[in-house]
Amino acid sequence: MGAKELVLEYYNSQAYANAEALKRFIHNDIVLQWNSSKGYLELDKDDLLALAAELNKSYISSRVNISHIIEEGDTVSVRYTHYVHAFENPDEEMVLANFMVIWEIKDNQFYKGFLMSQLA
């Protein structure tokens, strides 16, 4: 499987919101450097698994809409919007945030990530 196919499978399977499913996609030594509208975070595997579990608990459902995806070797850049349905208002889908991420793939898993996000 190529890097782009792996990244598409990750987002299409919604593994970002399922800690068990996420384990298959992330390398043991993963580092995600995240610049958000609220500041800078550096996340490792345990942090990402906790984030996926929290996302799953916080929303009824979520999905991403990828507008751009570019592959160059083992590096994939993705621009997407993340939509959620909150427990408080399950009939309304809202934009959680807009994202731009560069993923470096190693051993057919996400190894390094460089993420920028802005809340909706």
Residue 87, pLDDT score: 87
CB proximity list for 1: less than 8 A, separation 6 or greater: 9, 108
Rounded Cα distance between 23 and 58, Å, is 20
Residue 72, pLDDT score: 98
To the nearest whole percent, how much of the chain has pLDDT over 90?
90
Q: What is the rounded average pLDDT of the residues 86-110?
A: 95
> Tens digits of per-residue pLDDT, 17-64?
999 999 999 999 999 999 998 899 999 999 999 999 999 888 999 999
pLDDT tier at 73 (50, 70, 90 boundaries)? very high
Query: What dotted CATH number matches 3-119?
Result: 3.10.450.50
What are the domain boundaries of the chain?
A: 3-119
